[in-house]
Chain A
Amino acid sequence: MTTPSTTTARTERAATRFGNRQQLQQILAFAGLVVIFAFFSFASPYFLDWANVKGILLATAVTGIMALGATFVIATGGIDLSVGTGMTLCSVMTGVFLANLGLPLVVGVLGGLAIGALIGLLNGLNVSYLRLPPFIATLAMMMVAQGLSLVISGTKPIYFSDVGGFDQLAAGELVPGLPNAVLIFFAAAAIAGVTLSKTLTGRYALSIGSNEEATAISGVDVRRWKVVIYTVAGLFTGLAGVVMASRLNSAQPGLGLGYELEAIAAVVIGGTSLRGGKATILGTVIGALIMATLTNGLRIMSIPQEWQKVAVGIVIVLAVYADILRRGKEA
């Protein structure tokens, strides 16, 4: 048929083309972000103020970390509705560990992460072994987590004022001028990116999203790997909970509902397909930045909060439609 050398040459040429196409998606989302940024810079003199940009990054951090986890679940073709209230439960439990039980800082933080992993583990078990649809399994978990947060906290916020140094976790500036919460977000994104593209967990998530049955027949223990994937997603929920608690220096049991939708919106704006099989972490990061920038910019232009929601909704439609157009041309 073909000699090895021509095959290799063709392979390389095609690989470059493929790479460009993958990048196009991110360039598109990134261009969107730049346009939004440029628009608000002209619209408001305060927008480009470093304090304001810092605010945007801070606002991105918590939703962004949740969106990182959600990307894994969405890559399998599933959905995770429990990230919002799950995040809150992790905040509350971190409060219990640190403020109520007085455990050491490291233990409390790891405990918060562990609760997140536990939430993900239960989601995964329910999806894999009880065969609940992901929507239902995580909807149930969303309610359970919300309820437990209120019960455990006695519906009152838990303050970390007596826990020395906890607030520095998010508010401290290891790099002067840049809050740690933002650093944590970027570090988490880097880890998520490598996990998605370079480890079995990520590769199988995308395979399951592409064709679950073929993946199973290929000898991949799909049920077990789904548990792993949901647990990984849960870890990010836990991290979001800890960062949130640190930022507010308190655990607010009433918060959380609605965050899951913002996280999902960020993932979708980033070009990840809800049908599964296609996902990028860079896209999710850009998606989260777009969400936060938009909210911030509209607020700075003194647009009422009610209208901000409308604007965000429209942006989601535009972003996903642009992605569909792009995919249409590809096929």
Chain B
Amino acid sequence: MSDSPALLRATGVSKSFPGVRALDDVHLDLRHGEVLALVGENGAGKSTLLKLFSGIYRPDEGAMELDGAPMSPSGPRQANELGISVIHQEFHLMPDLTVAQNIFIGREPRRAGLIRDDELVRRAGVLFERLGIPLDPRQPVSHLSVAGQQMVEIAKALSFDARVLIMDEPTAALTETEVDTLFRIVRDFVSPRTGVIYVSHRMDEIKEISDRITVLRDGRYVDTLPTASTATREVIAAMVGRQLETGVRPGAASSGSAPGADGREVVLSVRGLTTRKLLRDVSFELHRGEILGFAGLMGAGRTEVARAVIGADRSTGAVEVQGRAVRIRNPADAVRNGIGYLSEDRKRYGLLLDQDVVRNVMLSALPGMTRAGFVRDADGRRVAAEMVDRLAIRTPSVTQTAKNLSGGNQQKVVLAKWLVRDCDVLIVDEPTRGIDVGAKDEIYGLLTSLAAQGKSIIVISSELPEVLRLADRVVVMCEGRVTGTLVGADATQHDIMELATRFGTDRSLVTTGDSA
């Protein structure tokens, strides 16, 4: 591509795992002083490529160069020493250690064998000042918000003398202001001797921050495009290999149905839901066949509502399912009442990662798949195969281990688990977090068609276009309270943001129910 040696280059790299060719003859070159966006659908091979750069995997074929010199890091530590720092999608922090201890773990300043905590805190302080991060180095990481933890990861990566900074979906958990801070840090970092590889699904961010875009698809190299002269539509077309309807379609899901869901049967009614920590008097109704959006800023309490409703956390308040008052003390009670929850954290709360698709799909409906106390595995395999077809789960087989699937397909497996159990109410928390554009579309299509089949769905999402596209009505939360309910067809991003930032105690402005 370029004549001068690239800062970081991969030439014809391939990597296979049992049953999967994750990377096939892939090229990438990062020039000095640029931000290179790396895009592709889930399963396109981005994460695998990053893991080659960080020494977690070794390529089966092909070569990597740093400044024209061959390199093959033997592990993350050596990659760091070479000047390659990676910020992974998942955090690798020790919650009980302080911020400073986390940043300098493995490199603690010592005197006579004893760790110098004062020096540790000082160095972290200097680093934070340079990066403009407002954190106390002495704070335990467990006290930080997700965004705060993200900042610690970034500070840790930059505490090495990094020349190549690789960020894997760094903004997934950040609010807009925090994204601005992140971009400022990235811009400060870039110099003629450094470069950044930026992996993201958010096209607007890629537009804003990157110079060029490298596209992967199905483990293969597709193209590298200059950001300034490429339309978003072209990038997406390169990613999915076909033209795709994008853009916001407000209230699309409700276009065929009555706005506000008036007159439809109330399937779930929640009154005065309150938790000790955050929620205050949260009330809402969910109708049959409705998609109810929950919007709000990070920490507004949307996930907490879901966890309280399914009995994962303690709460007070009244819950009615199909008009019957029920007491839900734990998730088992919730499932018995036909309420299934798809967590935003699929790996922690959604999947048995070490087990195969069959076992995952069967898990919630197992008691119904027994005869005389014995589990009928044949049933499970049949049901799983049906689900693989119905949801178009891309997996070599139903006995594939869940951890080997891409994010979008993992999400479908979790969804399949609840469909098998035939839950009437699905609470879907950030359904497309970490999922690429093409698979997002599929998930949207699935949720919409499930609602059309009479399922009632609550969608919690931080992405406003997503909420507006899917939801018939949108409940907006701020600081643990419901600050308003909007009808999807009329709602705008501006309306939602206005309600989502309605801080303070002015509850007289709160509008609830279908009055909007």
Binding site for B on A (CB under 8 A): 1-2, 4, 7-8, 10-11, 13-15, 17-18, 194, 198-200, 203-204, 206-207, 210-211, 213-221, 223, 277-278, 330
CB of B421 within 8 Å of the partner chain:
yes
* CA distance in complex: A215, B331 (Å): 10
Residue contact B399 to A206, C-beta cutoff 8 Å? no
* Among candidates A1, A221, A278, residue contacting B354 with C-beta atoms closer than 8 Å: A278
Binds A, one of B21-29, B207-215, B362-370, B496-504: B362-370
Number of interface residues of B (CB under 8 A): 45
* Among candidates B331, B349, B350, residue contacting A219 with C-beta atoms closer than 8 Å: B331
A-B contact pairs, 19 of them (CB 8 A): A2-B388, A7-B397, A10-B396, A11-B381, A11-B398, A15-B397, A17-B399, A200-B375, A204-B366, A210-B353, A213-B349, A214-B350, A216-B331, A217-B331, A218-B335, A218-B363, A219-B336, A277-B355, A278-B354
Minimum distance in angstroms from A11 CB to a CB of chain B:
5
Residue contact B332 to A221, C-beta cutoff 8 Å? yes
* CA distance in complex: A11, B387 (Å): 13
Residue contact B355 to A215, C-beta cutoff 8 Å? no
* CA distance in complex: A1, B394 (Å): 8
* CA distance in complex: A83, B392 (Å): 48
* Among candidates B310, B334, B389, B396, residue contacting A14 with C-beta atoms closer than 8 Å: B396
Residue contact B385 to A211, C-beta cutoff 8 Å? no
CB of B341 within 8 Å of the partner chain:
yes
* CA distance in complex: A15, B367 (Å): 23
Q: Give the one of A194, A214, A223 with max B CB within 10 A.
A: A214
CB of B166 within 8 Å of the partner chain:
no
**Chain B contacts of A217 at CB under 8 A?**
310, 312, 331, 341, 343, 349-350
- Beta-carbon nearest neighbor of B336 in chain A: A219
Residue contact A8 to B385, C-beta cutoff 8 Å? yes
Minimum distance in angstroms from B370 CB to a CB of chain A:
7
- Beta-carbon nearest neighbor of B421 in chain A: A219
Known A11-B381, A11-B399: A206·B363 in contact at CB below 8 Å: no
CB of B320 within 8 Å of the partner chain:
no
* CA distance in complex: A200, B397 (Å): 24
Residue contact B331 to A210, C-beta cutoff 8 Å? no
Residue contact B398 to A219, C-beta cutoff 8 Å? no
Known A203-B366, A217-B341: A11·B353 in contact at CB below 8 Å: no
**Chain A contacts of B385 at CB under 8 A?**
4, 7-8, 11
**Chain A contacts of B349 at CB under 8 A?**
213-214, 217
Residue contact A218 to B355, C-beta cutoff 8 Å? no
Residue contact A10 to B397, C-beta cutoff 8 Å? yes
**Chain B contacts of A1 at CB under 8 A?**
389, 392, 394
**Chain B contacts of A207 at CB under 8 A?**
352, 355, 359, 363
* CA distance in complex: A199, B366 (Å): 9
Residue contact B351 to A211, C-beta cutoff 8 Å? yes
- Beta-carbon nearest neighbor of A199 in chain B: B373
CB of B220 within 8 Å of the partner chain:
no
Known A7-B385, A13-B397, A214-B348: A200·B363 in contact at CB below 8 Å: no
Residue contact B373 to A213, C-beta cutoff 8 Å? no
CB of B178 within 8 Å of the partner chain:
no
**Chain B contacts of A213 at CB under 8 A?**
348-349
Minimum distance in angstroms from A61 CB to a CB of chain B:
27
- Beta-carbon nearest neighbor of A4 in chain B: B389
Residue contact B375 to A203, C-beta cutoff 8 Å? yes
Known A218-B335, A219-B364: A211·B396 in contact at CB below 8 Å: no
**Chain B contacts of A17 at CB under 8 A?**
399
Known A199-B375, A200-B367, A218-B363: A211·B348 in contact at CB below 8 Å: yes
Known A15-B399, A207-B363: A7·B389 in contact at CB below 8 Å: yes
Residue contact A198 to B396, C-beta cutoff 8 Å? no
* CA distance in complex: A7, B396 (Å): 8
Q: Which of B372-402 contact A (CB under 8 A)?
A: 373-375, 377, 381, 385, 388-389, 392, 394, 396-400
* CA distance in complex: A142, B387 (Å): 47
- Beta-carbon nearest neighbor of B346 in chain A: A214
Per-residue contact bits, chain B 92-133, to A (CB 8 Å; 1 contact, 0 not): 000000000000000000000000000000000000000000
- Beta-carbon nearest neighbor of B356 in chain A: A18
- Beta-carbon nearest neighbor of A194 in chain B: B374
* CA distance in complex: A211, B394 (Å): 23
**Chain A contacts of B367 at CB under 8 A?**
200
* CA distance in complex: A215, B351 (Å): 8
**Chain B contacts of A223 at CB under 8 A?**
330
CB of B417 within 8 Å of the partner chain:
yes
* Among candidates A198, A211, A214, A330, residue contacting B375 with C-beta atoms closer than 8 Å: A198
Residue contact B399 to A214, C-beta cutoff 8 Å? no
Q: Which of B36-63 contact A (CB under 8 A)?
A: none
* CA distance in complex: A221, B388 (Å): 27
* Among candidates A15, A203, A219, A277, residue contacting B334 with C-beta atoms closer than 8 Å: A219
* CA distance in complex: A220, B335 (Å): 9
* Among candidates A7, A194, A210, residue contacting B352 with C-beta atoms closer than 8 Å: A210
* CA distance in complex: A200, B362 (Å): 11
Residue contact B363 to A220, C-beta cutoff 8 Å? yes
- Beta-carbon nearest neighbor of A223 in chain B: B330
Known A7-B389, A217-B310, A217-B341: A200·B373 in contact at CB below 8 Å: yes
- Beta-carbon nearest neighbor of A15 in chain B: B399
Residue contact A7 to B388, C-beta cutoff 8 Å? yes
**Chain B contacts of A216 at CB under 8 A?**
312, 330-332
Per-residue contact bits, chain B 302-338, to A (CB 8 Å; 1 contact, 0 not): 0000000010100000000000000000111011100
**Chain B contacts of A198 at CB under 8 A?**
374-375, 377
Residue contact B389 to A2, C-beta cutoff 8 Å? yes
Closest 3 CB pairs of A and B: A219-B335, A14-B397, A221-B332
Residue contact B400 to A14, C-beta cutoff 8 Å? yes
* CA distance in complex: A2, B343 (Å): 28
* CA distance in complex: A208, B364 (Å): 13
- Beta-carbon nearest neighbor of B352 in chain A: A210
Residue contact A218 to B375, C-beta cutoff 8 Å? no
* CA distance in complex: A15, B401 (Å): 11
- Beta-carbon nearest neighbor of B367 in chain A: A200
**Chain B contacts of A8 at CB under 8 A?**
385
**Chain A contacts of B332 at CB under 8 A?**
216, 219-221
* CA distance in complex: A217, B352 (Å): 11
Minimum distance in angstroms from A37 CB to a CB of chain B:
32
Residue contact B364 to A218, C-beta cutoff 8 Å? yes
* CA distance in complex: A206, B362 (Å): 13
* CA distance in complex: A200, B370 (Å): 8
Minimum distance in angstroms from A184 CB to a CB of chain B:
22
**Chain A contacts of B396 at CB under 8 A?**
10, 14
* CA distance in complex: A328, B95 (Å): 27
Residue contact A214 to B352, C-beta cutoff 8 Å? yes
- Beta-carbon nearest neighbor of A13 in chain B: B397
Per-residue contact bits, chain B 410-452, to A (CB 8 Å; 1 contact, 0 not): 0000000100010000000000000000000000000000000
* CA distance in complex: A223, B310 (Å): 16
Q: Give the one of B330, B350, B353, B394 with max A CB within 10 A.
A: B330
* Among candidates B381, B399, B417, residue contacting A218 with C-beta atoms closer than 8 Å: B417
Minimum distance in angstroms from B311 CB to a CB of chain A:
10
* CA distance in complex: A18, B377 (Å): 15
**Chain B contacts of A7 at CB under 8 A?**
385, 388-389, 397-398
Minimum distance in angstroms from B369 CB to a CB of chain A:
10
- Beta-carbon nearest neighbor of A3 in chain B: B389
Minimum distance in angstroms from A6 CB to a CB of chain B:
10
